[in-house]
């Protein structure tokens, strides 16, 4: 019985070693494919890192900006009716969201003509939207630049292949052609992958920003309606 148990244990260890070796080989294969892409893979890789960073950084920033407590405007209305403007401003400041900052600015203008209040709220809203869109232009640029860099690598790879064919004369082999063709294909794939990722991220984040803008507009209208009531 102990002999059979030993065989099973040795088999398990061997299987684990094979699996580890296969994983290492797979990682090496990927790295070797990337290395075949040539120097053009460096800027494509840099663009990919930037795109990933901007995607996650903007996602969490925009998600936080879109948080709106259902009782927020109710609390603001109650404080305004009671004349507690300082308390209302403190509540807005504690929120720290674009909507809170926008309403806080409007509260600081109470006592002035309604048009002035509306303009102040609108200006703060525009500024906050600009902050939300920070980095979006870079993401859009990456979605177009990465595939172009991939195509550039394709052209340079094919040029290198033709030069090697010309230098070799009649001694053209598969190994001779694989380097340039591999570079051409790898850069094309890498450029398209980065470009598609950046394009999808840009559109999803833009959709999130539009939702936040809608909430800001709806809240500003509700705030101006509150100011009409005391009058």
Confidence at 183, pLDDT banded by 50, 70, 90: low
Q: Residue 133 contacts by C-beta under 8 Å, 6 or more apart in sequence? A: 209
Confidence at 141, pLDDT banded by 50, 70, 90: very high
9 pLDDT exceeds 80? no
Side-chain half-sphere CA neighbours of 103 within 13 A:
37
8 pLDDT exceeds 70? no
pTM above 0.85, yes or no: no
128 pLDDT exceeds 80? yes
81 pLDDT exceeds 80? yes
The whole-angstrom separation of Cα 175 and Cα 179 is: 7
The pLDDT of 117-130, averaged and rounded, is: 90
The whole-angstrom separation of Cα 50 and Cα 8 is: 48
């Amino acid at each position: 019985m102990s002999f059979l148990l030993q065989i099973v244990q040795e088999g398990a260890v061997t299987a684990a070693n094979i699996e580890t070796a296969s994983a290492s080989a797979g990682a090496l294969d990927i790295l070797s494919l990337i290395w075949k892409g040539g120097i053009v893979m460096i800027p494509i890789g840099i663009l990919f890192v930037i795109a990933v960073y901007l995607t996650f950084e903007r996602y969490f920033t925009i998600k936080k900006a879109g948080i709106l407590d259902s009782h927020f405007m109710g609390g603001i209305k109650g404080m305004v009716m009671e004349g507690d403007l300082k308390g209302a401003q403190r509540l807005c400041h504690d929120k720290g969201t674009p909507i809170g900052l926008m309403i806080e600015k409007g509260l600081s203008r109470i006592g002035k003509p309604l048009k002035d209040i509306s303009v102040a709220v609108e200006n703060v809203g525009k500024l906050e939207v600009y902050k939300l869109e920070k980095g979006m232009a870079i993401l859009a640029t990456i979605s177009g630049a990465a595939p172009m860099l991939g195509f550039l690598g394709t052209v340079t790879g094919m040029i290198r292949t033709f030069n090697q064919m010309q230098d070799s004369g009649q001694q053209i082999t598969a190994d001779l052609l694989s380097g340039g063709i591999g570079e051409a294909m790898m850069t094309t794939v890498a450029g398209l992958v980065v470009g598609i990722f950046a394009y999808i991220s840009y559109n999803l984040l833009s959709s999130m920003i539009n939702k936040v803008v809608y909430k800001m507009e709806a809240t500003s209208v509700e705030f101006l309606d509150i100011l009409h009531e005391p009058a």
